[in-house]
Structure 1
Amino acid sequence: MIPKIIHFCWLSDDKYPEKIRYCIESWKKFLPDYEIRLWDLSRFDINSSIWCKEAYNVRKYAFAADYIRCYALYMEGGIYLDSDVEVLKSFDDLLHLPYFIGIEQGSNIEPAVIGCEKGWSLMKEMLLYYKDRHFINGDSLDMQTLPIIMHEKIQELYEYTIIKSPSEFHLDEKKINVLPAEYFSPKYPNSFKCTVTAHTYTIHHFSASWYSRNQRIFRLIRKFFGYKIAHNCSLFIKRIRSFKD
């Protein structure tokens, strides 16, 4: 049984942006009997993980949160939500499962919404992945995103099985049951398209806080005008900068 605990991370001293406040209010609205557990520096020892310490020190808080979500779920069980996840309905009818996880639009695993019992094997494997791992490698940062890391780890260690609904869930130590994008991540990351259905529990709004300012501008242009125009704008800006140099 998955406990009624909502875990989320906020490592910055900054106040919650309006979108984050809106999402957290949705948790309180649809999950009134769930405990909301904030993982910040008072709950988690940032020096206990080389990865977290290095990511935190360069203010890449989302990458530290990648580790912390796995730690929280493995140690305590419950449901992890990214702070930019909006809840549309209660998770109550999923709590009988030993775990639940879905894909995002585009087929990678969606780690913004994960529910599990304490000690889930996938979370243990993720902690082993990060053990003694450095976020800072010389002059570069390990910016590999968690959806790709977790997707690859599942395919390496388990039989990856996309099920159509929770009723098809089959417990098998060698298998990971994965729900379709409509359940937890119906929004397309780089467009305004969002295919909410009767099965949708959450919407991940993809704030992409780890992106640089230029990456966020590129992403916004792509959402409004498409990839081709965004790419041409990027090339134009690079040319202007090359002339200045």
Structure 2
Amino acid sequence: MIPKIIHFCWLSGDAYPNKIQYCIDSWKEKLPDYEIRLWDLSRFNIDSSIWCKEAFEVKKYAFAADYIRCYALYTEGGIYLDSDVEVLRSFDDLLHLLYFIGEEQGGNIEPAVMGCERGWDFLGRMLSYYEGRHFVTDSGFDMQTLPVIMSEEIRRHYTYTKITNPKEFRMDEKALCVLPAEYFSPKYPNSFKCPVTSRTYAVHHFAASWYSVDKKAFRMVRRLFGYKVAHFFSVLIKKSKAFIFK
């Protein structure tokens, strides 16, 4: 059984923005009998992982959280939620599974919402991936996103098995069962489109706190006016910067 523990990371020490507080409040409302366990510097030894230490020191907290979520679930079991995930219904009817995880819109794995029993072998492999790995490299930062890393690791070690509902879940050491985006991440990252269904447990709102100001602005313009308009303004801004600093 997956224990009734909600894990989340908040490493900056800053007060929660309104959007984050709204999401956390949804956990308390929909999951009143679950323990909510905050992973910050008082719970996690940041020096225990060179990846986490380096990401934390340059304030790229989301990348440190990539490791910590794997560590928390592997060592304790439970459910991990990104702080910008809104819960719509209880996870109770998924707790009998060994694990659950889904896709995001677009097809990559969605690590913003995942649950498992302690010792899930896939997360053991993920911890091995990060062991000794540096976030700060000679060429800058290793900004590979966790959905891409996880998708690659799954395809390297398992058969990536898409299932349409939890009843199709099967115990197979060589297969990893993945639910559709409608379960945990129905929202499209670069638009306001969010097709919630009767099967939706949660919505990942993609706060993307690790994005630069320029990239956040690009995402907002793209949501409002589409890719072509956003790209036009992006090119215009780059040319303006090049002219100013010429």
**What is the TM-score normalised by the length of structure 1?**
0.99
Measure, in 2, the Cα distance between the counterparts of 1:101 and 1:19.
24
The residue identity in structure 2 corresponding to 1:96 is H
**Deviation by residue 1:127-165 (Cα, 9 ceiling, x = unmatched):** 000000000002400000000000110011000001000
Partner of 1:72: 72
The residue identity in structure 2 corresponding to 1:40 is D
Partner of 2:119: 119
Q: Matched residue of 1:69: which SS?
A: helix
Measure, in 1, the Cα distance between the counterparts of 2:156 and 2:138.
28
Measure, in 2, the Cα distance between the counterparts of 1:243 and 1:123.
48
Measure, in 2, the Cα distance between the counterparts of 1:13 and 1:38.
11
Q: Matched residue of 1:110: which SS?
A: strand
Partner of 1:13: 13
Partner of 2:165: 165
Deviation at 1:239, TM superposition (A): 1.2
**Deviation by residue 1:86-145 (Cα, 9 ceiling, x = unmatched):** 000000000000000000000000000010000000100000000000000024000000
**What is the TM-score normalised by the length of structure 2?**
0.99
Partner of 1:204: 204
The residue identity in structure 2 corresponding to 1:173 is E
Partner of 2:181: 181
Q: Matched residue of 1:241: which SS?
A: helix
Measure, in 2, the Cα distance between the counterparts of 1:60 and 1:132.
18
Partner of 2:231: 231
Deviation at 1:11, TM superposition (A): 0.2
Measure, in 1, the Cα distance between the counterparts of 2:131 and 2:145.
17
Partner of 1:191: 191
Partner of 1:93: 93
Deviation at 1:241, TM superposition (A): 1.4
Measure, in 2, the Cα distance between the counterparts of 1:38 and 1:187.
25
- Residue 40 in structure 1 maps to residue 40 in structure 2: yes
Measure, in 2, the Cα distance between the counterparts of 1:139 and 1:105.
31
Measure, in 2, the Cα distance between the counterparts of 1:45 and 1:52.
9
Measure, in 1, the Cα distance between the counterparts of 2:195 and 2:35.
29
Measure, in 2, the Cα distance between the counterparts of 1:11 and 1:136.
18
Partner of 1:156: 156
What is the aligned-residue identity percentage? Answer: 69
The residue identity in structure 2 corresponding to 1:203 is V
- Residue 56 in structure 1 maps to residue 56 in structure 2: yes
Deviation at 1:242, TM superposition (A): 1.6
Deviation at 1:243, TM superposition (A): 1.5
Alignment RMSD (CA, Å):
0.5
Q: Matched residue of 2:111: which SS?
A: strand
Measure, in 2, the Cα distance between the counterparts of 1:203 and 1:240.
37
Q: How many residue pairs get matched?
A: 245
Measure, in 2, the Cα distance between the counterparts of 1:88 and 1:242.
46
Deviation at 1:240, TM superposition (A): 1.2
The residue identity in structure 1 corresponding to 2:17 is P
